Amino acid sequence: MASLIPSLSTAQIAALSTTSIKSLTTADWALLSTAQAAALTTAQIVALETVDLSVLSTANVAALSTAQIVALGTHQVAALGTNQVAALTTTQVAAVETADIKALTTAQAAALTSAQVAALTTAQLVAVETADLRALSTANIASLATGDIAALTTQQAAALTTQQVVALTTAQTAALTAGQVAALTTAQVASMETADIAALSTAQVVALTTGQVAALKTAQLAALSTTQVAALQTADVRALTTTQAAALSSAQLTALSTAQLAAIETADLRAISTANIAALATGDLTAFTTAQIAALTTGQVVALTTAQAAALTAIQVAALTTAQVVSMQTPTSPR
């Protein structure tokens, strides 16, 4: 027997009882027109079985009103096909309840367009499960407003893939809260583009953990401004690797406070170029501990200017090794 659905008016469709709605077959629902779909009452929407909902055409799904979208249960939203999800308008997406957003599958999240993701409210975005967040395309991540980025939970921030972190714009990176920055994994930090590293505020730099600082690539470290370097905590300076210490520029090294300089590990200190050592102010040099002074290479000692050598404290001079003393140039030597 042929289905009567095509012959029913929108008024007749809207008049069907929920019992009648449930009795319709998937074949019936597949014949529904966009006008008929738009005519369904919210009560009828609630009564719609997931198997029947799944056969609605993308045009029918796009024809649903925001009230109908709101009426969908979490089980119904989770049953939508990826093509149906992709067919939702931005207005419809913004109307999806947070509980329904949480119910989205990874496949459904991956089907969202950049326009749909950008249409999500901050409350909806926070409701996205971490696995679903990781399924969003890099283009989708880049489409998020800075306010949306700042609204992500620390768990969500830590769940971003390295590709998604790379996709963040400079403005988005600058919008990360201190808590979000601290929650990033070392792999995420190491994947950040140098332009994004350079855009970090001093508050964000302060929020970096010692593990994150130690994970910075030399190119990333070189991108830090003197203001950012000066904002590093002493524990972070202590966490620098030998390779990182060797990559510091003269401007970055001289931007360090005496407390930061005193925190440099002896192995890292020995890795600093002679030019950088010679660029230090006399006050910076006197901040070195006796262990640091004794750790200087003979090449670094030779590089000391007359003013730097003269500024050494008595206790620092006493800490010099015989090899260091022998290597020291006379005050008349050219500088």
Residue 322: pLDDT band with limits 50, 70, 90:
very high
C-alpha distances out from residue 297 to 94, 270, 272, 301, Å: 63, 6, 10, 6
The whole-angstrom separation of Cα 200 and Cα 175 is 9
CA nearest to 236, candidates 195, 206, 196: 206
Share of the chain residues as helix, strand and coil, in percent rounded to the nearest 5: 70, 0, 30
52-66, 100-114, 245-259, 321-335: segment of lowest average pLDDT: 321-335
C-alpha distances out from residue 62 to 69, 87, 92, 112, 313, Å: 10, 6, 8, 14, 78
Please report the pLDDT score of residue 333 as a whole number: 45
The answer to whether the pTM exceeds 0.75 is: yes
> To the nearest whole number, what is the mean pLDDT of the chain?
94
The whole-angstrom separation of Cα 318 and Cα 119 is 68
Q: Say how many C-beta atoms besides its own lie within 10 A of residue 310's C-beta.
A: 10
Residue 83: pLDDT band with limits 50, 70, 90:
very high
Please report the pLDDT score of residue 329 as a whole number: 63
Please report the pLDDT score of residue 334 as a whole number: 46
- For 15-51, the pLDDT digits (tens) are 999 999 999 999 999 999 999 999 999 999 999 999 9
Please report the pLDDT score of residue 196 as a whole number: 97
Q: What is the mean pLDDT of residues 68-78?
A: 95
Judge whether 261 and 287 are in contact, CB under 8 Å. Answer: yes
Judge whether 128 and 104 are in contact, CB under 8 Å. Answer: yes
Query: Does pLDDT of 335 surpass 70?
Result: no
The whole-angstrom separation of Cα 222 and Cα 168 is 20
Return the residue matching tokens 């966490």: 239
Query: Does pLDDT of 323 surpass 90?
Result: yes
Give the tokens for residue 290: 């006796």
The whole-angstrom separation of Cα 130 and Cα 160 is 8
Please report the pLDDT score of residue 261 as a whole number: 95
- For 275-307, the pLDDT digits (tens) are 999 999 999 999 999 999 999 999 999 999 999
